[in-house]
Amino acid sequence: MMLGGVGFQVGLDEARRKQQLEAQRRAVAQAPSAPGPDVVEQLTGLRALLDDGVLSPEEFQLAKRKVLGD
């Protein structure tokens, strides 16, 4: 009888997911702004991260400012 087994695994999976999301947030926050024609692609990628819940609205605005050079 493994009552706690499934719950424990779900907890581990959730912890790993949170670690991955945090690593992505740090990478976006530390990414230098790259000038060039791919600004639209960068903004689209940031918007996708915002929509997926990886970035908070504040993090999105900060990253967007970096991309736009503001």
pTM for this entry: 0.48
CA distance 11 to 41: 34
Of 19, 33, 28, 34, give the one whose Cα is nearest residue 56.
Answer: 28
Confidence band for 43, pLDDT divided at 50, 70 and 90: very high
The alpha carbon dihedral of 59, 64, 67, 18 has a sign of positive
The segment with the largest mean pLDDT, out of 2-6, 21-25, 36-40, is 21-25
Specify the length of the chain in residues.
70
CA distance 47 to 16: 23
